[in-house]
Amino acid sequence: MPTPRETILTALHARLSSLPATALRGEMLPERVPADGLLILRDGDPGEPEVTLSPLRYHYQHRAEIEAVVQGTKDRDAAFDTLCASIGAVITADRTLDGLCDWVEAEAPQPVDLPVEGAASLKAAVIRVSLFYTTSDPL
């Protein structure tokens, strides 16, 4: 049986997979970026939980990361903006991931342009996503 952390990350990945961009989890950046963009979900860091007793509960603010990448020269900025907006729309549509989390909150991206030798440059950002959830076991 998967842990609550894994269940939540799987649910977030499933939401990202519903977007036109290719959504991967924990993969390396491929040699080619799909035309609709690329999202790579990184598991991130659950951090130190707040603990309450009676009953024993661990309250996490887990920080996962989504790497958002587009490539090309034509309308790259607009494509990147659309990709980031679609991530935001997926998160705000269900901030509890069907009740798995208490709350899901994304931070604003800080885009960078990355030159690629012999190809169109990339526009990318890491979007940090805080996943607030409670579990009875820290593992």
CA distance linking residue 77 with residue 90, whole number of Å: 20
CA distance linking residue 64 with residue 6, whole number of Å: 12
Note the pLDDT tens digit of each residue in 46-57.
Answer: 999 999 998 999
Q: What is the DSSP string of 59-123?
A: EEEEEEEEEEEEE-SSSHHHHHHHHHHHHHHHHHH-TTTTTT-SEEEEPPP--EEEEETTEEEEE
Note the pLDDT tens digit of each residue in 106-135.
Answer: 999 999 988 877 777 899 999 999 999 999
Q: Tell me, what's the pLDDT at 75?
A: 87
Q: Tell me, what's the pLDDT at 27?
A: 95
User: What's the CATH architecture for 4-134?
Assistant: 2-Layer Sandwich (3.30)
